[in-house]
A and B are shown apart, each in its own frame.
Chain A
């Protein structure tokens, strides 16, 4: 794998961005991370988790990943469903199976340079059948200085870890 350097003269704050080429990168200018969703060992059905990009005002911008592939349960993720069902976004390509309690899912997330260090966050919302729904199970600031810190979840997620894709 090859490390590439791109210069973004037009974006003052982000003069230099190191980014990593991989098949996940949609456009040469996006920044890609490997993201680990580590679940806790709880009793019950497998959790549905949705990963969304949130703007500085706390609004949903777009869906990044859905862990859970049966749309019958999507309405259980109430806040996200209100947004996603109402928007025209196509989530077919970013949907994966649920994973077992205590297991982890490693996904790839890509962002536009403008979404980084500009007050955006990545929100992890979760629901389990017959059990509590977490509007915000975990939330990570899209801040290049802190993004590698492990962030603990409040619900079914034990923690989230992000590292740049390489």
Chain B
């Protein structure tokens, strides 16, 4: 197979646009900076930045754009109007597939909502979690009936709008409710106090997750069912053990629910116990002990193969990991993906957790279902590897071999190239792994770098470390062929001679 240069015309076009791009790319776009919008800039200031070449249309990797950030920081309606009238589509999808009206609604910004609807904003949309605009407003903590009157006036159908789990707005509202006012408002609009989601979980279960005892008492008083879901095997205690984002419920919530006759030693049909949930969200050992005293098995394995220790290993604190490890029969237990507690800690937690698990005898040569070893987990992180040097030290001292390839034959070089970071590559070099090995797709680390990097220094560093520029892919392409097609390199108008 000979390389194909048919795209040379396109490449020339890319180089030309690249010249314009470079000037805009050199400086970060202030319109994608939260702090810029927090300063509530004047229209004159916004226009000055536009004339410097910054785009009010661009979104960052998370899908947030200028208008979204302006709404977050509660900029005046005149600013929102300016951004829309300059050409931001009122129904543009941003983070989690939300349009601007989702963000305006979640902040209770009625003025912006009215303006956006007047400009044609659709209200019959769902975000990527299945929330309608109105459910998202409730999920954002909005409690003002005026906002929900607005949705009704614009055609919202609360009875039939459901999220991916089949939950209506009442179920979404109850776990965040501070009192019963908004709940009564929705009931007054014809919603059913005995509503359930697709799994048959009703208001009491959703409220238990929120953990507001006054709300739970009111629901019980009004006759809402408090009993276990026979289909899923979940009860309110299991829901309460979930807690919310970065928040867990206190002991008094569990004690209240037990007082209603609910069993604390509960296991759902998918094998989940309260300890599975609490080990993710809580670092209160008294609560963990409470459930163990009630007979919950700390070694219970759920449908996915996870134990409480595995759930704790990614994010929880040393005292929780210690507490659960001491009760764990098999420190090397793996879930269905083949993740051990050590692998998860290497990937997501601190060096001290990694060292602790190794000191408990955790196996450093463990492989996951795809044949990946701990080096994969060290490097395969969202963003930069966490506490890299510390973890390398701990693993090396324990005898871990960083030269070993993964199940797909990729090496530490392949894994590190993904991070596009020379400082990291220099550390990888010290491991002494063969830089020219191909993975099972037939590509070397240099091939991947040529495809993906925006930085020629990364390519130059790999070559200086011994990468062979003559090595070809299964399609006969060299790193030069791949680099020529890379839009990011083309945009920076770079000279690729050194790949010859």
Interface centre among B94, B454, B485 (most CB of A within 10 A): B485
Q: Is the CB of B452 within 8 A of A41?
A: yes
Residues of A109-161 whose CB lies within 8 A of B: 129-131, 150, 152, 158, 161
Within 8 Å of chain A (Cβ to Cβ): is B259? Answer: no
Residues of B181-226 whose CB lies within 8 A of A: none
Q: Is the CB of B475 within 8 A of A102?
A: no
Q: Is the CB of B63 within 8 A of A130?
A: yes
Q: A106-B474, A130-B95, A158-B485 are in contact. Are A100 and B59 (CB under 8 A)?
A: no
Residues of A within 8 A of B128 (CB): 73, 76, 129-130
Within 8 Å of chain B (Cβ to Cβ): is A163? Answer: yes
Q: Is the CB of A100 within 8 A of B418?
A: yes
Q: A100-B418, A106-B474, A161-B475 are in contact. Are A44 and B61 (CB under 8 A)?
A: yes
Q: Of the candidates A36, A45, A105, A131, which one forms a contact with B475 in the assembled complex, judged by CB atoms under 8 Å apart? A: A36
Q: Is the CB of B6 within 8 A of A150?
A: yes
Residues of B1-55 whose CB lies within 8 A of A: 1, 4, 6-7
Within 8 Å of chain A (Cβ to Cβ): is B302? Answer: no
Main secondary structure on chain B at its contact with chain A? loop
Q: Is the CB of A41 within 8 A of B6?
A: no
Task: Report the Cα distance A133→B1, complex, angstroms.
Answer: 33
Number of interface residues of B (CB under 8 A): 28
Within 8 Å of chain A (Cβ to Cβ): is B96? Answer: yes
Number of interface residues of A (CB under 8 A): 27
Residues of A within 8 A of B486 (CB): 41, 102
Q: Is the CB of B452 within 8 A of A163?
A: no
Q: Is the CB of A130 within 8 A of B93?
A: yes
Q: Is the CB of B94 within 8 A of A130?
A: yes
Task: Report the Cα distance A150→B4, complex, angstroms.
Answer: 8
Q: Is the CB of B60 within 8 A of A43?
A: yes
Q: Is the CB of B487 within 8 A of A40?
A: yes
Residues of A within 8 A of B488 (CB): 41, 102
Residues of B within 8 A of A131 (CB): 63, 93
Within 8 Å of chain B (Cβ to Cβ): is A104? Answer: yes
Residues of B within 8 A of A95 (CB): none
Binding site for B on A (CB under 8 A): 34, 36, 38, 40-45, 72-73, 76, 100-106, 129-131, 150, 152, 158, 161, 163
The 16 sampled A-B contact pairs (Cβ below 8 Å) are A36-B475, A41-B487, A42-B487, A43-B59, A43-B60, A72-B164, A100-B418, A102-B452, A102-B486, A102-B487, A103-B448, A105-B441, A130-B63, A130-B128, A150-B4, A158-B487
